[in-house]
Amino acid sequence: MRMAKGVEWALHTLLNLDMAGGGPVGSSQLAQAHGLPAPYLNKQLQQLSRAGLLASTPGPRGGFSLTRPLDAITLLDVVQAIEGDADMFQCTEIRCCGRIGELSPRPTGPCPVKNAMSRAEASWREALAAQTLAEIKAELDTGPVVGEIIRAALR
């Protein structure tokens, strides 16, 4: 149950894109900024694009750009864009299989085990949705110099 690395990459890349100043930035430059494999980062950015977080402009001087400010992007948006929105606990209804399944009457209500796990998962998603990238940027930002450095790294 390890989260994909792409989530970490996407989060840092989104923060960098905000610093870049709005213009489109190519995936190779974004990859160089953190020493990531460019083609694979590109794949993740495409998923962010499909989710509506990024806009992609083809051609020279093209690249990816944010579609909305950081305070309108939550951690949940990014996680769902990269990982998908499937539950991490997937009930396979084993209560209906095997000898117990044969001997018991078919259950009517939903599986209580699944319910309990879903409740916990919901509070995780809630916490993710409560965090915007703007808040993270505020923790990260130590001065105007940082912006200059990132803009230089993305050149």
Q: Give CA separation, 42 vs 38, 49, 90, 129, 140, in Å.
A: 6, 10, 29, 25, 24
Query: Which of the stretches 20-28, 44-52, 58-66, 89-97 binds its own copies when contact is defined by CB under 8 A?
Result: 89-97
Interaction between residue 49 and DNA (CB under 7 A)? yes
Distance CA 4, CA 26 (A): 22
Among 23, 28, 116, 141, binds DNA (CB under 7 A): 28
Closest approach, Cβ 96 to its own copies, in A, equals 9
Give the shortest CB-18-to-DNA separation in angstroms: 16
Can you say whether residue 104 is alpha, beta or left, with left for phi > 0 and alpha for psi between -120 and 50 degrees? Answer: beta
| 134 is a site residue for its own copies (CB under 8 A) | no
Instruction: Report yes or no: 154 and 16 within 8 Å, Cβ to Cβ.
Output: yes
Bridge partner list, 56: 64
Single out the segment in contact with its own copies by CB under 8 A; choices: 11-19, 20-28, 42-50, 58-66. 11-19
Is 131 a binding residue for its own copies by CB under 8 A? The answer is yes
Q: Which helix (H) or strand (E) holds 65?
A: strand 63-66
**By CB under 8 A, which span of 42-50, 52-60, 61-69, 121-129 interacts with its own copies?**
121-129
Select the residue interacting with its own copies from 49, 83, 134, 147 (CB under 8 A).
83
Q: Footprint of DNA on residues 50-89 (CB under 7 A)?
A: 56-64, 83
Which string of b and e fits 113-122 if b means at least 16 CB within 10 Å?
ebeebeeeee
37's contact among its own copies, DNA, none, with CB below 5 to 8 A by partner kind, is DNA
Q: Are 120 and 66 in contact (CB under 8 A)?
A: no
